[in-house]
Amino acid sequence: MLGQTLRLVRLIVGWICIIGGLILAISPLPFGFVIVIAGVILVGPRDRGLRMARAWWNRLIRSLASSSVPLVAMAARRIIAFQSSIEQRMHQWMATRSTPSVASRRVAAEE
C-alpha cells in the first residue's frame, strides 16, 4: 500500500517537473532543462505516457524536417542530428560502462 502511494506521488511530481521544466525552458536561464531531466528520472523511462510523448516528438520533428519552409526544415534537421549524436554517445557510454563489469565476471568465473 505504501509502495503504491510512493509510486503515485513520484509519478505526479515527475510529470509536474516535466511540464514545469518545459515552461521554464523558454526562459533564457537553462534551469528548465534540468527540471525536465529530473522529471524524466522520477517518472522513469518505462512510463507509457513518456514513451508516447517521445514518439509524438519524433513524428513531429520528422514531419517538420520535410517542411516546405526552409528555416523550419533546417532547424528540424539540426534537432534530429543533435538527437542522434546524443543517442550515439549514450550508447557508447553505456557500452564502456558495462564492459568492465562483464570482464571482471569472466575473470572471476575463470578462477
Distance CA 102, CA 111 (A): 14
Contacts of 9-18 with C-beta under 8 Å, sequence gap 24+, read 10/42, 10/43, 11/42, 11/43, 11/47, 13/39, 13/42, 14/38, 14/39, 14/40, 14/41, 14/42, 14/43, 14/44, 15/39, 15/43, 15/49, 17/42, 18/43
State the cell numbers at 90: 549514450
Average pLDDT over residues 30-34: 82
pLDDT band (50, 70, 90) for residue 78: very high
Domain range summary for the chain, segments of one domain joined by +: 1-48, 56-111
What backbone torsions phi and psi does residue 20 show, to the nearest 5 degrees? -65, -40
Q: pLDDT-derived band of residue 109, with 50, 70 and 90 as boundaries? A: low
Q: What is the pTM of this model?
A: 0.61
